[in-house]
A and B are shown apart, each in its own frame.
Chain A
Amino acid sequence: MATFECDGKRCWRYLEPRQSLWMWLGWLLTVAVLVVSLRAIDESTMWIFVWDAASRGADIAERMTPPRWSYMSVLWKPLWDTINIATLGTLLGMVVSFPVAFLAARNTTPSAVFVRPLALLVIVSSRSINSLIWAILLVTIIGPGLLAGIIAIALRSIGFLGKLTYEAIEEIDPVQVEAVAATGASPAQVLDYAIIPQIMPAFAGISVYRWDINIRESTVLGLVGAGGIGLQLQSSLNILAWNQVTLILLMILATVIASEWVSAKVRHAII
């Protein structure tokens, strides 16, 4: 806050002059970046298509209604597959990320110079790549199917679970660790009795949260051949059966809302 003289009275402004200069520079930079970006998008857009977007949207909406309810009988198995991809993928991700988190946490890593950067690299590369990209990669490597989907979900989950868990490990109460160590416990016993009990609720909560996200993500893995309800979505889109697409979207909506409810309940019970 800056005060200054104006017309013989004392006035105030929210920012110091130097701060407001930086503020304006920031805004200038933002606007410049936006203008450049908009021009780039403008160049690669066929505006002639955009002008009748509304009529095409209305056309699609008309084809989408009413949903083709009889298609439901085909969807139960893909829906079960989708839930399995998410659940098994999350379990696999939990198994791998648990040790990785301990290797990455500053207070439990065996070597801050060699092991910790490696564990952080695993976490960062897993987090940067979307599960759909992992799925494309795995479908070309091990072929289409549920397994590719499960591993894709697991690979993406490692980074998420690993990052949040290692942050939780770094924030544990050191007093309990000291207390257990003072009884003459070995490092393994300290880990077992002082560290793991402290982070278990956080780890379980994070995992359930990730499971909820994974349900959403696994609905689209089928688009690249990695199994689940996305396969049906892809084939319905290919034959332009928009009324089947509506039904699939409704199923996804119901599943996601249900999983969100379950995850909220479980997290509430744990923490």
Chain B
Amino acid sequence: MSEIAAAAPRTWRRPKLIPDARLRWGLVVLALAYVFLALMDVDVNWPRVMEGLGRAVQFLQAFAQPDFVTRWSEINEGIRESLAMTFTSTALGILLSIPVGIGAARNMAPIPVYLVCRGIITVSRTFQEVIIAIFMVAMFGFGPLAGMVTLSFATIGFLAKLLAEDIEDIDPTQVEAIRATGAGWMQVVVYSVSPQVMPRLVGLSMYRLDINFRESAVIGIVGAGGIGATLNTAFNRYEYDTAAAIIILIILIVLLAEYASGVIRKRLQ
């Protein structure tokens, strides 16, 4: 008995995430080397940063007393435009992403359709809304219409991808059962696919509504309408109190939208 106790180790060490010591230290050294190289390339203009700290304090003070009044008509118009863009682009985006999503599901579409739809999704997901907005502004002119088209396109990348993944994961026996009754492709979609993916599609659409509002606040920077243009102007004029007011409004609306979409999602599921 005492022999066993003597042989057993008295201390315990927790197992490491990567058991192989050489691999572990190799990764650590590599990571440190990368961070060092990357930091070398960040040249910071320290005098400029020091000078800016005063402005940072001013900005924080502006949050204590935001100015909603002076530029209220511009803020009001910007928010209305942003909301209009959000609603229309989400609706249009949902309508367009349903066919694209079905087309991008491997179990529903033939190969050529699948490749085209996957291509649309990849392009839409890769490029930031702002880059798409630059092109849309060049085509449709300044204003919220360009923003609406941009956000609709971005919505396709998000919704169609998740919808396609959902459709690929559906229970195939239900599809077989409907098909066995002699149903055509369209009837299979309506009676066996859509009931299985609908609750999640509704939830994701609500979530996207929320994202679209946030995005509508930035695409104004390149001229696509909405509150972003007002915010950018406020920064350029160094009107921090107006900028703070706009940022507070954006946060409030996002909070409200998140809460509302949470309630709706809960009720629908």
Contact = CB atoms under 8 A, between A and B. Distances in A.
Given A50-B141, A220-B128, A252-B126, A130 B49 contact: no
Contacts of A125: 251
B134 A237 contact: yes
A129 B144 contact: no
B81 interface: yes
B116 interface: no
Contact of B144 (A41, A217, A224): A41
Nearest to B50: A142
Interface string B110-139: 000000000000110011101100110011
A220 B222 CA distance: 11
Nearest to A55: B139
Given A34-B87, A49-B140, A88-B42, A132 B56 contact: no
B247 A133 contact: yes
Contacts of B100: none
Interface in A113-147: 124-125, 127-130, 132-133, 136-137, 140-143, 145-147
A132 B55 contact: no
A40 B80 contact: yes
A109 interface: no
Interface residues of B, number: 62
B131 A37 contact: no
A128 B44 CA distance: 28
Size category, A interface: 35 or more
Interface in A204-225: 216-217, 219-220, 223-224
Nearest to A147: B44
A127 to B, nearest CB: 8
Contact of A34 (B35, B81, B88, B250): B88
B148 A41 contact: yes
B231 interface: yes
Interface of B: 14, 17, 34-35, 38-39, 41-45, 48-49, 52-53, 55-56, 59, 80-81, 83-85, 87-88, 91, 122-123, 126-128, 130-131, 134-135, 138-145, 148, 214-215, 217-218, 221-222, 225, 228, 231-232, 235, 238, 243, 247, 250-251, 254-255
Interface of A: 30, 33-34, 36-38, 40-41, 44-46, 49-50, 53, 56-57, 60, 80-81, 84, 87-88, 91, 124-125, 127-130, 132-133, 136-137, 140-143, 145-147, 150, 193, 197, 200, 216-217, 219-220, 223-224, 233, 237, 249, 252-253, 256-257
- Lowest 10 A-B CB distances belong to which pairs? A49-B141, A37-B84, A143-B48, A128-B254, A40-B84, A84-B38, A142-B52, A128-B251, A45-B145, A141-B52
